[in-house]
Structure 1
Amino acid sequence: MAKPNCPASCGNVSIPYPFGIGSNCFMDNMYEIVCNEIGVAAAAKAFLVLPRFRVEVLEINISDPPNNDDDSYYEPGLIRVKMPIISSNCINKSSVAASGGVLDISGTPFFFSSSRNKFVSVGCNNKATMAGLDSMVFGGCKTDCNNQRLRGKCTGFDCCQTTVPSSGIQGLDVTLESTTNNMNTCKHAFLAERRWLESNETDPSNDVQHLEYVPVVLEWTLSSFEILNFTEALRRNVFLDYTSDGGTCYHCQSGYEGNPYLDMRCQDINECEVEKQKPICSPDLECENTEGSYNCNKRKSPLKIAIIVISPSFGVLFLLLVIWWLYKVIKKRNKIKLKQKFFKMNGGLLLQQQLSSNENNVQKAKLFNSKELENATDRFNENRILGKGGQGTVYKGMLIDGRIVAIKKCNTVDEGNLEQFINEIIILSQINHRNVVKLLGCCLETEVPLLVYEYIPNGTLFQYLHEENGDFPLLTWDMRLRIATEIAGALSYLHSAASLPIYHRDIKSSNILIDDKYRAKVADFGTSRSVAIDQTHVTTLVYGTFGYLDPEYFQTSQFTDKSDVYSFGVVLIELLTGEKPVSLTRSAKSRNLSTYFVHSLKENRLFDILDTQVRKVCNKDEVMAIADLAKRCLHLNGKKRPTMLEIMMELEGVQKVSHVQPNFDELEYVRNEEMGPRNDVSISTGSCFELDSASSSNILPLLSFKSV
């Protein structure tokens, strides 16, 4: 219902409070609705007024109940709106649909629903990517009109689609690119409601030609200042509940109905019956109700009353005991069936098949039960969260034997992604290397899969290089050199020493964990692939992280071991410069760190872009050798890049030449650096790096630069 004395609808769209039309009819200006009437009232259109723009409203729903009996979360409020189609090089498209590539609703209580929307790209040989408002790419898809096998309803030939990776997104920056030399082809990309896309009548590759807007589902919850206190909620017969993404919503208590967001109370739906007047009986008679009429009957003796009362009581008690026993038996049986259902749904049968077909090669990981992992994480308490990513949330836990572990609670695995999830378990089960995160086991009997890893306590390499605070001290040159060598050793093992070559496909500093001895551990194998020798992996979806992606793979969708080499080269540059792979603070030509590094080498400005800790190194030859190695890793022609085995051997050679031996006390040295030099740290002979250009120009000619 709407607020009293306020319009309840606009055209065929109901307007429930906290939304409203007109002054004092909405809770906050974020929920204001404007009704534009065209001709008759039935043709009226409702527009949601947001700070930056207006969008047409198709439907408003203030809340949905839980999906099932085992789901304690209520769904957030839903609002279906029209969003523009983003187009490029298309004629007969209005400026509204064709202008800009950004969908921005930040600063509002609304966000794009990840479960109810899909990202769609239309056009031949079109690559569309999604990025947040911070330019961090988190998904996309690519069409290929040269591959007839991809023909179908938006399956990759002229139209491709992918899911939105996570909830809570309030901004999308969409980029459209051609994968062929024909740059002037018409291309489209848009976010659309999953139900609309799956309708039998809808074919995006045809419909988008004459559409400018498509339906999109937004979710909304209340902001913190709008949440009722406990006393006021009780007065209104309202209880507060939390949505699956942590938002807050209202609901009328059981037995009540109404709009819980209004100041009026939720009303009791069980109307009281009017008490009927009883006839006056004499003291020796009692009044009884028989078929709606009252009669004065002779009172029953106490013994007879006791027999009448007690006899049924024993029967009722026995019946209750039987019902209770049946309830416990059925509940236990249903719980077992539910676990079996989840085990099958999460790929348990596929995992068993893989394990049985690779008995001699795969180490069987432990299968944990759900109760053990719930106790280990205090029922997955938010205070135990170590981090969140595109594939799930990682919690810190303690097993019953006292071991500290990291438990990855995966996002819901679609049937089409089961192979990818099981792939991570199989790959990690084959890996036995000190610089690779060890998989201890998994649990598949819960609603979402759980993976149990060894706990790596000291954060990620990205945090040490790019987050300036006391929790992540600066890394010395020798620590950086050792970390690079350890990463190279792990990747060399994956590429050549494992039973089958394994391509990681997402090497980046945030996937390099640092243990308590400041040793590197390669993590996150969610997109990895085991491949036969001399084979490559081809896909229409581009995996990886922007800034680390191999340009050759990005163009051909053909992933090889040299693609991992390119990503490792970017990590080497991060270790040398302390810069992020992509930064908006640099000029447009140097936002990409790889390009910035290569141009600096061409212009003999290597030492001008080095990190402060690297400039303190006294042995310039080491730094020049690593810079030259990074340059070769970034070669645009993958065949001209070194292998990870060659890289590892070259890094080990540089370490052996160094006069400064790896020392775990380096960290204490960094922290006390301002107190003066330590006598127990040996420094190699030769002058240290200077910041002036003369020093740089004397060294750079020693680096041979090959055109890439």
Structure 2
Amino acid sequence: MSSTSSRPPTSLPGCPDKCGNVSIPYPFGIGDGCAATRLNRNFTITCNDTFQPPRPMVGDPSMPTEVIDISLEHGEMRVYGPVSYTCFTSDTGPDNYTGGFSWEGTPFIPSTTRNSFMAIGCNTMGIIGSYMRSNPDLFLAGCYSYCQAINSTSDGAPCIGKGCCETTISPNLTDFAAILVFNHSSVWKFNPCFYAMLVEVGWYSFKQQDLVTHLGFINNRAKRGVPVVNDWAIRNGSCPKDGEKAPKDYACVSSNSYCVSASNGPGYICDCSEGYKGNPYLPKGCQG
């Protein structure tokens, strides 16, 4: 991409700056030599052109995660996250799926302020816990949702325990799974599926129809998943102290840029100085 005075460069020269409708700014990049893999190999984005428009993917190639957008200024990446569910077609026949993330060793940590953990269903408890079974702190947070009938819930009601519930998550949560615990015997005939998810605050609004059909919430509202906000940072370093020489792999390379310590987990992000805009991770990336 060529640089102009009105539009500072966002990607490395000669590298794609978009996948479909999503901008891909450096240190992220598509293709060989276009991402800051010296800082972390997970800055590499794969552009899946089997979709129209193409969709950017990040993470393990065997189970990639779809990217919604990337913010340099806020150090955030929004992605589509999985929804855990348990469904009953009879009183004894469950259909289960446990969804989660494993961001160990990556630049990403789910934001504690921009996400909440939610469960949808009657007589169900959602629990979010560490995905790594060897971790002694397996269960980290949970909430309980109760209702005896559909008419005891109402569309748009807050998720405070009737039809849906929500709770906050722990910081530095690099791997987790969403688990459901339920007493389905009295409710499965009108509420065949229970759901649990980590989701962006404000995205979900309760609807009675989410309770009443088989996989209705996923099929109608979450086919690609639900939005989750990850904080990202340069995790293998820190801001140099005043007067200190910048380390060899220091990422804030633009003049008129500065370093900010990460607010969630270790590391730092870069920002353009006041009066400048652009990409602080590129030489001459911050322009007046």
TM-score (ref. length: structure 1): 0.32
Partner in structure 2 of residue 141 of structure 1: 143
1:162 aligned partner, one-letter code: T
- Matched position secondary structure for 1:240: strand
Distance 1:267 1:222, change over 3 A: closer
1:116 CA drift (Å) = 0.8
- Matched position secondary structure for 2:105: coil
Contact residue 154 and residue 205 of structure 1 kept, 8 A? no
1:204 CA drift (Å) = 8.3
| Distance in 1, Cα, partners of 2:79 & 2:141 | 23
Correspondence for 1:58 among 52, 64, 68: 68
Where do 1:309-388 residues align within 5 Å?
none
Distance 1:46 1:186, change over 3 A: same
Partner in structure 1 of residue 86 of structure 2: 88
Partner in structure 1 of residue 279 of structure 2: 259
Contact residue 85 and residue 98 of structure 1 kept, 8 A? no
2:277 aligned partner, one-letter code: E
Contact residue 82 and residue 100 of structure 2 kept, 8 A? no
- Matched position secondary structure for 2:126: strand
Contact residue 257 and residue 286 of structure 2 kept, 8 A? no
Correspondence for 1:16 among 5, 12, 25: 25
* CA offsets 1:508-553 (integer angstroms, 9 cap, x no match): xxxxxxxxxxxxxxxxxxxxxxxxxxxxxxxxxxxxxxxxxxxxxx
Q: Kindly, what percent of the aligned residue pairs are identical?
A: 29
Partner in structure 2 of residue 115 of structure 1: 113
Distance 1:221 1:103, change over 3 A: same
| Distance in 1, Cα, partners of 2:208 & 2:36 | 37
1:80 CA drift (Å) = 0.8
Partner in structure 1 of residue 269 of structure 2: 249
- Matched position secondary structure for 2:196: strand
Contact residue 153 and residue 203 of structure 1 kept, 8 A? no
* CA offsets 1:486-518 (integer angstroms, 9 cap, x no match): xxxxxxxxxxxxxxxxxxxxxxxxxxxxxxxxx
**Which one scores higher on RCO, CA 8 angstroms, separation ≥ 6?**
2
* CA offsets 1:317-358 (integer angstroms, 9 cap, x no match): xxxxxxxxxxxxxxxxxxxxxxxxxxxxxxxxxxxxxxxxxx
Structure 2 unaligned segments of length 5 or more: list them.
1-9, 90-94, 211-215
2:230 aligned partner, one-letter code: L
- The structure that has the greater radius of gyration is 1
1:7 CA drift (Å) = 0.4
Contact residue 123 and residue 205 of structure 1 kept, 8 A? no
Contact residue 120 and residue 162 of structure 1 kept, 8 A? yes
Where do 1:515-526 residues align within 5 Å?
none
Partner in structure 2 of residue 394 of structure 1: none
- Matched position secondary structure for 1:224: coil
Structure in which a larger fraction of residues adopt strand: 2
| Distance in 2, Cα, partners of 1:241 & 1:86 | 35
1:79 aligned partner, one-letter code: M
| Distance in 1, Cα, partners of 2:104 & 2:209 | 30
| Distance in 2, Cα, partners of 1:204 & 1:22 | 45
* CA offsets 1:25-49 (integer angstroms, 9 cap, x no match): 0002211111122465xx1111113
Where do 1:550-629 residues align within 5 Å?
none
1:84 CA drift (Å) = 1.3
Where do 1:274-289 residues align within 5 Å?
none
| Distance in 1, Cα, partners of 2:286 & 2:112 | 34
1:2 CA drift (Å) = 1.0
Distance 1:267 1:192, change over 3 A: closer
| Distance in 1, Cα, partners of 2:144 & 2:51 | 43
1:160 lines up with 2:154 in the alignment:
no
| Distance in 2, Cα, partners of 1:266 & 1:11 | 23
2:168 aligned partner, one-letter code: T
1:6 lines up with 2:6 in the alignment:
no
Partner in structure 2 of residue 197 of structure 1: 204
| Distance in 2, Cα, partners of 1:162 & 1:25 | 39
| Distance in 1, Cα, partners of 2:152 & 2:138 | 32
Distance 1:222 1:251, change over 3 A: same
1:237 lines up with 2:237 in the alignment:
no
| Distance in 1, Cα, partners of 2:70 & 2:43 | 11
TM-score (ref. length: structure 2): 0.74
Partner in structure 2 of residue 218 of structure 1: 230
Structure in which a larger fraction of residues adopt helix: 1
| Distance in 2, Cα, partners of 1:24 & 1:182 | 57
Structure 1 unaligned segments of length 5 or more: list them.
65-76, 92-96, 270-708
- Matched position secondary structure for 1:188: strand
1:256 aligned partner, one-letter code: Y
2:256 aligned partner, one-letter code: N
- Matched position secondary structure for 1:196: coil
1:220 CA drift (Å) = 0.6
Partner in structure 1 of residue 180 of structure 2: 176
| Distance in 2, Cα, partners of 1:172 & 1:204 | 28
* CA offsets 1:417-467 (integer angstroms, 9 cap, x no match): xxxxxxxxxxxxxxxxxxxxxxxxxxxxxxxxxxxxxxxxxxxxxxxxxxx
CA RMSD of aligned residues (A): 3.0
- Matched position secondary structure for 1:60: strand
1:16 CA drift (Å) = 0.4
